[in-house]
Structure 1
Amino acid sequence: MPTSVYIGVDIGTTNLKALAIHARSSAIVAHAARPVETLSPKPDFAEQNPDQLWGLLLEAMTELDKELPDSVTIAGVCFSTAMHSLLAVDEAGKPLTNALIWSDNRAVQEAATIKKDHADLYQSIGVPIHPMLPLCKLAWFGRTNPRLLKRATRWISLKEYIWWKLTGRYEIDYAMAGATGLFNSPKGVWHTPVLTLAGVHTEQLSTPVDTTHTVPYNPPANGAMPGLRAGVPLVIGASDGCLANVGAGALEPGITTITIGTSGAVRRTSPRPIRDAQARLFSYMLHHGNRQQPTLYAVGGPTNNGANVLQWVAEKLLHLPVDEALKQAADIPAGADGLLFLPYLHGERAPLWDASVRGSFRGLDYAHSSAHMARAALEGVLFNLRRIDLLLARHAGPTRVIHANGGFAQSPYWVQMMADIFGVPVRLNASNESSGIGAAMMARFALAEPPTTLAELAKTVHFGQTFTPNPATVKGYQQQYKQFEALIGG
């Protein structure tokens, strides 16, 4: 057992996790997780209770503390959190609302209006206009509850709420700030014109800080966080997408991280932000540069349609458990005998950025079975991710290897399909906890003596199996991908 560990706290959409990694090897030595409940009180609403989330963090840290021997020292704690959440708090820090999370779609009207009337906004904020953005959610509050918009002392994310509970400070890291649609990342400041559009002012927002910003833990009189001694460094960290790149060891040119959980994302690490001419890609600051480490951005595109498509196939199409659905799909040849599936069951972010788009089968005929439909659905998810990858390649160069993680990585069959559709090797991380590992590694980067770089830390990431593409299958998929592109407008 190591004598020193770094803790990464990963607050995701479906699970809150806390893990401890060895201070030198980055190996996971302890882990705790709790499921997170999402509330849907109305159609298109998706909310989470911030105080319930705080309680889950206390539970997870209690379990982690029990797993670690008394002789182990916690060298630092760092935080990874899902992006785009928004809640209001009063002057005492008490929540006035639940948190609207990324999948909340109530601001569709506001997003459409902002996109139409402010087409040039993307160049400043670096993220496509979509209902997920706090910018659009604030505009929705301005239309439906203007008194609350003005009465709220602060508008913050779930991460900011947790950070305030721990430190008493309203601070937001550059990565999370970049995901609000309210922030000018290259300048590192709130973007004044868009604040006017959202109906808020800087005093209602947190202070932006770098992702390595550190505060010593000062336990409150009414109860300390389990396992944390006074003075232990708390590192603010970044968003889950940015830190997944770090935890996946994907910092070099040509390495693309692809995560498929409930949803999915294609990401690269870049020394500069990118701006797509059609506003289809995001750029979030991973670290503000200094002499030790140049500036880094996580660039790419997210999809709404990942393993949730597989769940739909299993439950609604085949009426089978997920593993049985995968087996049936595996019995069908690559290409599903010409059947194509547009996987837009939940609208879509990248590459379409259209919350109203829906899925469909194309080329369906009498010879196709439900197993063909299952195979086509899995291929459709990957075809859509491939389109994001090719779009990203125009700005950041081609992918030479994929570092893959997320729940889909538990299916060798689906991972091999990815290698064949993308035509490059797919390397699995040894753990699917890339965001949590990335958070713990960010703590090490911020605090280690002597100083180290993120590139050096990336070399400590542990990997599992590598899947190489089958040339014959790759050729067939190349032809079918052209048909997929033609269906969605090439």
Structure 2
Amino acid sequence: MINAGDAAACVSDGVRDGDHEVILVLDLGSTWLKGGLARADGSLLYIDRVASPLRGATALDAETVWQAVLAMLLQLHGKAGQGKALAIAITGATRTHVFLDGQGQPCGPVMLWNDPAGAQHGDCVAQAYGVAGSSAGYGAFHPLSRVLQFAQDHDGVLPQAMAEIKDWLNSRLTGRLVTDTVAYGRIVSGHGGDTCLFDVLGRLGLRKSVVPSPASPVSVLGVATCSGLQGVPVVVGSFDTWSSCLGMGAMLDGGVYDISGTTQVLGTFSVRPRPVKGMVSMPWTDTLWQTGGPCQTGMGSLAWFARAFLGSDDPADTLAAAQASSANDVPLCLPYLSGERMPLWNDTLSASFHGVKSHHVRADMAQALVEGLVLAHRLALDVMQVRGPDAVLHMSGGGAQLSQWVQARADGFDMPIELCVAEETALAGAALAAGVATGRYDSIAAAQSVVAAGHSRILPRRERAAYFKSKAAAFSSMLSRDVSLS
């Protein structure tokens, strides 16, 4: 972390000659609340982090989140010293919702990203979208299913609005509630339809106001009105995955990304939509479509093993345990501890180990979990049809700092992995979005072009790639007993 003195010195250099401008950037994650001072080119001058109010929360009061965010923003504003705050740009965990009453006040606890609420309403929501048959993708975690679940849990009382946590925080800063066009598009299109959103809401008996109006993530929402931040422009922004893709330089035609955090998010970009079963295909910029989505599996699964068997909470300890495995017949693991989102959209799946023998030890089980996670994400990439001899995977997130995890993914995917220079790509991407919103760049593509070069590349090892290829067939066969992959 750059210290406060260095930060003030960096800030005084300015974004351009004669400027003394910095962007207050903030990333509200499921584990950490990270804040920083950045230039409009995404370079970070100062970074700080504290435990996220979302971490391990139950019945979380939205006001608690707001107070933590406000404290961080005020601290950053103070750290800027003589620098001028060009803008505030917030990003963070998506599918974390605040339900609001007619006065715009929270009327229930925050519904967190990992809450599978709404599963039982999947068929109803799918039908409202005009989707026949399977309700995959419309139940657990779908925003409108969550609204129905909220009403069921509150004696039929419907919220006036449902806001992504980032959008609600922006509304606390400015007094205006909107959502960004990327998050909005996810609700409008569902998973492959062009049905009018108001028609869908009408069929479900929901108010038109329940989904806030959309605005470009690279636009200014308004200015902050709260004490200590008055007059600072607030950028609409978007969720952490969108920001990270921009910050790591992956948001380009043919780009493939892997953001490794508590959960894993994978996807690819193209100039035209690529409808793929089990994937969200939607516009992320004026010129690019994203195909992919979030997995329920990721570093959080490694942390679970550490808690259950190692007396720790650190995913790195699971990786270290796995490194001690010497078995030639590592068990096969289906790593779905909390069901799975993309590409299976099945909240009923559970984790299991297969082929366990009496000679297997804890290290072998840790290795089985590591391999199972890699194979689950390889499956997602195969559904996207992006693995190939010329493909490169852009990777960021906390997992990208763990060399063993990165190498296992390069081997398992049989593709090179590029690691971004910027350690906090979500913060860097939020700064770039602010750069566009405040006119420093004329487009997202222009902002993307300034992302620093110098990525390091990790290559797959031939022998391990062949091992994962053989193991992938067994993984798919075992998984097909529980869910259709067709």
| Kept in 1: contact 2:32–2:55 (CA 8 A) | no
Q: Distance in 2 between matches of 1:414 and 1:467?
A: 11
Compare 53-62 and 74-83 and name the one that shifted more: 74-83
Q: Secondary structure, in 3 states, of the residue corresponding to 1:148? A: coil
Q: Distance in 2 between matches of 1:450 and 1:155?
A: 32
1:224 equivalent in alignment to 2:228: yes
1:376 equivalent in alignment to 2:368: yes
| Kept in 2: contact 1:40–1:47 (CA 8 A) | no
Give a deviation string over 1:304-334, Cα, whole Å, max 9, x none. Answer: 111122112222134456444322311335x
Q: Give the equivalent residue in structure 2 for 1:264.
A: 264
Against the structure 1 CA distance between its residues 315 and 271, is the aligned structure 2 distance closer, same or farther, given a 3 Å change threshold?
A: same
Q: Distance in 1 between matches of 2:193 and 2:434?
A: 24
Q: Secondary structure, in 3 states, of the residue corresponding to 1:237? A: coil
Residue pairs, 1:32-71, within 5 angstroms: 32-38=48-54, 47-70=59-82
Give a deviation string over 1:373-429, Cα, whole Å, max 9, x none. Answer: 1011011111111111111127x9887111112222222111111111111111112
Q: Secondary structure, in 3 states, of the residue corresponding to 1:341? A: strand
Shift of 1:89: 2.1
* Correspondent of 1:352 among 344, 354, 357: 344
Q: Distance in 2 between matches of 1:463 and 1:356?
A: 42
Q: Give the equivalent residue in structure 1 for 2:284.
A: 286
Give a deviation string over 1:453-487, Cα, whole Å, max 9, x none. Answer: 42553442355532111112111211111111111
Letter in 2 for 1:238: S
| Kept in 2: contact 1:328–1:371 (CA 8 A) | yes
Q: Give the equivalent residue in structure 2 for 1:408.
A: 399
* Correspondent of 2:219 among 213, 220, 225: 213
| Kept in 2: contact 1:139–1:197 (CA 8 A) | no
Q: Distance in 2 between matches of 1:148 and 1:55?
A: 27
| Kept in 2: contact 1:242–1:298 (CA 8 A) | no
| Kept in 1: contact 2:331–2:353 (CA 8 A) | yes
Return 5+ residue gaps in structure 2 as ranges: 1-9, 15-20
* Correspondent of 2:138 among 115, 129, 137: 129
Q: Secondary structure, in 3 states, of the residue corresponding to 2:329? A: helix
Q: Distance in 1 between matches of 2:454 and 2:132?
A: 36
1:332 equivalent in alignment to 2:304: no
Q: Secondary structure, in 3 states, of the residue corresponding to 2:442? A: coil
Q: Secondary structure, in 3 states, of the residue corresponding to 1:100? A: coil
1:177 equivalent in alignment to 2:184: yes
Letter in 2 for 1:436: L
Compare 447-456 and 208-217 and name the one that shifted more: 447-456
| Kept in 2: contact 1:128–1:282 (CA 8 A) | no
Letter in 1 for 2:309: L
Shift of 1:140: 1.6
Q: Secondary structure, in 3 states, of the residue corresponding to 2:452? A: coil
Q: Secondary structure, in 3 states, of the residue corresponding to 1:477? A: helix
Against the structure 1 CA distance between its residues 397 and 171, is the aligned structure 2 distance closer, same or farther, given a 3 Å change threshold?
A: farther
Give a deviation string over 1:52-85, Cα, whole Å, max 9, x none. Answer: 1111111111222233231x22222222232223
Q: Give the equivalent residue in structure 1 for 2:102.
A: 91
Q: Distance in 2 between matches of 1:189 and 1:352?
A: 23
Q: Give the equivalent residue in structure 1 for 2:7.
A: none
* Correspondent of 1:17 among 34, 44, 56: 34
State the Cα RMSD in Å.
3.0
Q: Distance in 1 between matches of 2:264 and 2:371?
A: 14
Against the structure 1 CA distance between its residues 320 and 439, is the aligned structure 2 distance closer, same or farther, given a 3 Å change threshold?
A: closer
Q: Give the equivalent residue in structure 1 for 2:148.
A: 139
Q: Distance in 1 between matches of 2:422 and 2:81?
A: 23
Q: Distance in 1 between matches of 2:473 and 2:310?
A: 28
Q: Distance in 2 between matches of 1:270 and 1:56?
A: 38
Shift of 1:175: 1.4
With the length of structure 1 as denominator, give the TM-score of the two structures: 0.85
Residue pairs, 1:238-253, within 5 angstroms: 238-253=238-253
Q: Name the structure where strand makes up a greater proportion of residues.
A: 1
| Kept in 1: contact 2:333–2:352 (CA 8 A) | yes
Letter in 1 for 2:218: T
Q: Distance in 1 between matches of 2:244 and 2:319?
A: 26
Against the structure 1 CA distance between its residues 122 and 193, is the aligned structure 2 distance closer, same or farther, given a 3 Å change threshold?
A: farther
Shift of 1:174: 0.9
1:309 equivalent in alignment to 2:301: yes
Q: Secondary structure, in 3 states, of the residue corresponding to 2:96? A: coil
1:29 equivalent in alignment to 2:45: yes
Letter in 2 for 1:95: P
Q: Secondary structure, in 3 states, of the residue corresponding to 2:284? A: strand
Q: Secondary structure, in 3 states, of the residue corresponding to 1:454? A: helix
Q: How many residues align?
A: 462
Give a deviation string over 1:153-204, Cα, whole Å, max 9, x none. Answer: 333232222121122112111112234x356799999612321243222234
Q: Secondary structure, in 3 states, of the residue corresponding to 1:48? A: coil
Q: Distance in 1 between matches of 2:258 and 2:313?
A: 25
Against the structure 1 CA distance between its residues 40 and 377, is the aligned structure 2 distance closer, same or farther, given a 3 Å change threshold?
A: closer
Shift of 1:242: 1.5
Return 5+ residue gaps in structure 1 as ranges: none
Against the structure 1 CA distance between its residues 40 and 64, is the aligned structure 2 distance closer, same or farther, given a 3 Å change threshold?
A: closer
Compare 170-179 and 267-276 and name the one that shifted more: 267-276
Against the structure 1 CA distance between its residues 324 and 141, is the aligned structure 2 distance closer, same or farther, given a 3 Å change threshold?
A: closer
Letter in 2 for 1:31: I
Letter in 1 for 2:206: V
Letter in 2 for 1:224: G
* Correspondent of 1:471 among 452, 457, 462: 462
| Kept in 2: contact 1:38–1:47 (CA 8 A) | no
Against the structure 1 CA distance between its residues 268 and 381, is the aligned structure 2 distance closer, same or farther, given a 3 Å change threshold?
A: same
Against the structure 1 CA distance between its residues 449 and 137, is the aligned structure 2 distance closer, same or farther, given a 3 Å change threshold?
A: closer
1:201 equivalent in alignment to 2:207: yes
Q: Distance in 2 between matches of 1:413 and 1:450?
A: 38
Q: Give the equivalent residue in structure 2 for 1:7.
A: 24
Shift of 1:224: 3.4
What percent of counterpart residues are identical? 23
Against the structure 1 CA distance between its residues 341 and 463, is the aligned structure 2 distance closer, same or farther, given a 3 Å change threshold?
A: farther
With the length of structure 2 as denominator, give the TM-score of the two structures: 0.86
